[in-house]
Structure 1
């Protein structure tokens, strides 16, 4: 009787262990997922906030300039530009968020203690890294005289008085269409240039830069904008997604139809993306916004890969080719067309290449400034009729072939365009106008390798190229031989790699360790329960057998 009571207890214990094992196998993943989500949310007490606020990993920005080797022949005889890439010139970038404030968001019914919305100011600084560069940034290069090219474009839509004043000043310029400057001058330091003083005359919204020009002039240790994001506390699927940029729910740069062109919905600044828990590899995409892009970029899922250094399973997202398609090829991109003034009849069809023609001019990258001046609102170029030297000229708006994206609406209507480096994936029209470009996907594509459970970029190579569209006023004599082409100036790469960084261990645990812990705990209870059940069953059968044998023996005697 006592043995049966013990057996009953063991049966109960076995079933209890099995029940706990099954329950943990179902409930523990949910519990662990909730714990991970809580730590991912950008609340004041989360582990993610300090790393998001000031990323503890090295971020490098590499610049590759195109040195012009036949500047004289281009300017005097209209020869095809001969370009030689020189780089990288590497800067270590530091991004920091300041003046962080929390609020429960727009929903008045929400708990006032809920930290749903986070607002902050974003600051960026750069420091030159000579050991990671091909040469010192004091190296001088021959490059496009961008202030001149921009001025020639802007005066075409200026008033007659302004056009005469600027044209008269151009005649006295000692510098031609190309200039020899150091890398540091071209980027952050800037250099004196008389034409920059005409900026406010050519566009009233353009701020004076004190007679200096530089593609990153006055941007070092400056504020990149005022942002409002979702913390993910009440909805992890909105983690780090933008709610407002500079006080607006939508961008002010593009046409309102289609509405998606100005939309910020679902986009992040790239430090962290919403976790991808259930999205299929075929359907998944992420959205990225940077002020320099002037719009949201969509990155499409390209492949899944095993990261050998960490053992993580990552998803690679590549910049969508739709970004650089024009409205002829993709009508929904019509709202991004601001127009590029060209002479009537100056066709951009791919007559020299046979390739199908227009596609993009899409979002880009570099500089919320032209010559360091920050854009504040949209301006649109319109078809213009010009009178010069008594002659009547008409310029019409035409889209460029696919592969470039105009930043004019957020760059004071300056002819600044973005593309992939070396016009990767662009219409061959662009490469046919210059020599020295060799696009390679593994060196020039834009991609992010994402750990899907946490939405953390493990490897990022954000590569884009800055170009200036050359357009001359009718009747201009001095620069009449300059070819009207899309001129590549430089390309850059923003790179992040978490391999070997301490933070990678947290990603490994969140991605794989938590699941393994769950399996170990639940399987331990299941195995223990099964072992107790089997042992109890065997003991019970053994007891029965012993009793049967004892009864049989006593019956025989």
Structure 2
């Protein structure tokens, strides 16, 4: 009898323990995700007391900029009216370092900051050296010629004489380092003399000369401390809430974030919107698919076909006009009227006539589309950033 009684007590105890574990399990299933979510929301805010503040201040995840150039194969024949032929060179890879400075918290749940950038060449990741020579259009000459197009005849004669005297040509042969970080050109001094304040630089000219060791403007973004729904969204850039480069309010709007972090807990219904000072406009990427990058689950967001479409193809882009063929955007209005355009590499997603006009272009979505891979819930991000992790895959074509 005693053994049966003990067995019943043991069975009852085990049953109670099992019931207790089941109840605790249900509570854990219900409560733990909510607790984790609350901890994420608490620690991704831009606040000196949050776990992510130092990571936001100086992002520990390495950024790499891969630059490709189109080397012009037949410059003399082009001047005689033949079809341009180009050869893609690169990538020339640079490690990009970023850190925020002049951090000021404001009373309206925002923080203002300057983010400085510097670049360091990575020869082990590159296909070529900075000493490689590239033949490409002479941007200074073409810009000066465009500025003279509607100028008085006297100034046109002065510039023509300057081109001849200085030996300036429509194409130039420069090293990658010179094209990226600048080279001396006496034409700059002539332009600054006769057209003061036309160019933002007084010394060397280079595609990235003004970006290295510089900031991208004063950003003011929401911290998410008082209103989490607006975290990382841009309130103002350089003190303004919209730019004046374009011809419609919609195109001039400053939307989204500064392009590095977004709110956590992304879904396929989410979109990624950010303001790019280099492009002088806001851009929106849309969800495409799930994936995995080095073991990290990701959502891929891609640029829509309409990103650089002209106004006739996509009416909301009419404000970016005057437009040319669809797929290229004229940014001369925010680049000192220099003849500069934005497009995907190799004129991907553009009017086919553009790629067909140049031999050596082979647009395809695998290599030339614009996309961001985002870790959607981010709490176990191996990079250590408890905010939404951005896996940047940048591809730039110079020339």
State how far apart, in whole Å, the 1-side matches of 2:71 and 2:332 are.
24
Deviation of 1:60 (Å): 1.3
235, 250, 255: which one aligns with 2:242 = 250
Deviation of 1:305 (Å): 1.8
State how far apart, in whole Å, the 2-side matches of 1:193 and 1:54 are.
39
Is 2:312 the counterpart of 1:325?
Answer: no
Q: Which residue of 2 aligns with 1:469?
A: none
State how far apart, in whole Å, the 1-side matches of 2:280 and 2:348 are.
20
Decide which moves more: 450-459 or 319-328: 450-459
152, 169, 176: which one aligns with 1:183 = 176
Q: Which residue of 2 aligns with 1:91?
A: 94
Q: Which residue of 2 aligns with 1:351?
A: none
Partner SS, residue 187 of structure 1: helix
377, 392, 398: which one aligns with 1:453 = 377
Is 2:111 the counterpart of 1:125?
Answer: no
Is 2:75 the counterpart of 1:143?
Answer: no
1:270-309 equivalences in 2 (<5 Å): 270-277=259-266, 279=267, 281=268, 283-307=269-293, 309=294
Q: 1:202 to 1:158 in 2, by over 3 A?
A: farther
Q: Which residue of 2 aligns with 1:228?
A: 220
Deviation of 1:189 (Å): 3.1
State how far apart, in whole Å, the 2-side matches of 1:326 and 1:419 are.
11
Deviation of 1:436 (Å): 0.9
State how far apart, in whole Å, the 1-side matches of 2:193 and 2:129 are.
34
State how far apart, in whole Å, the 1-side matches of 2:153 and 2:230 are.
51
Give the gaps of 5 or more residues in structure 2: 379-386
State how far apart, in whole Å, the 2-side matches of 1:45 and 1:409 are.
42
State how far apart, in whole Å, the 2-side matches of 1:203 and 1:160 are.
19
State how far apart, in whole Å, the 2-side matches of 1:131 and 1:150 are.
35
Q: If the length of structure 1 is used for normalisation, what is the TM-score? A: 0.64
Q: 1:418 to 1:305 in 2, by over 3 A?
A: same
State how far apart, in whole Å, the 1-side matches of 2:193 and 2:23 are.
75
Partner SS, residue 84 of structure 1: strand
Contact 1:158 1:202 in 2 (8 A): no
Return the index of the structure with the highest Cα Rg.
1
State how far apart, in whole Å, the 2-side matches of 1:155 and 1:133 are.
39
Q: If the length of structure 2 is used for normalisation, what is the TM-score? A: 0.88
Is 2:399 the counterpart of 1:463?
Answer: no
Is 2:59 the counterpart of 1:55?
Answer: yes
Q: Which residue of 2 aligns with 1:79?
A: 82
Q: Which residue of 2 aligns with 1:264?
A: 254
Matched pairs, number: 386
Give the gaps of 5 or more residues in structure 1: 106-115, 340-398, 467-488, 490-557
Q: Which residue of 1 aligns with 2:33?
A: 29
Deviation of 1:6 (Å): 12
Is 2:34 the counterpart of 1:102?
Answer: no
After superposition, what is the alpha-carbon deviation per residue over 1:207-233, rounded to whole angstroms, capped at 9, x for unaligned? 3423x3211124321122111111222
1:420-459 equivalences in 2 (<5 Å): 420-454=344-378, 456-459=388-391
Q: 1:464 to 1:199 in 2, by over 3 A?
A: farther
Deviation of 1:159 (Å): 4.5
Q: 1:11 to 1:219 in 2, by over 3 A?
A: closer
After superposition, what is the alpha-carbon deviation per residue over 1:415-443, rounded to whole angstroms, capped at 9, x for unaligned? 10011111111111111221111123222
187, 212, 228: which one aligns with 1:194 = 187
Contact 2:179 2:206 in 1 (8 A): yes
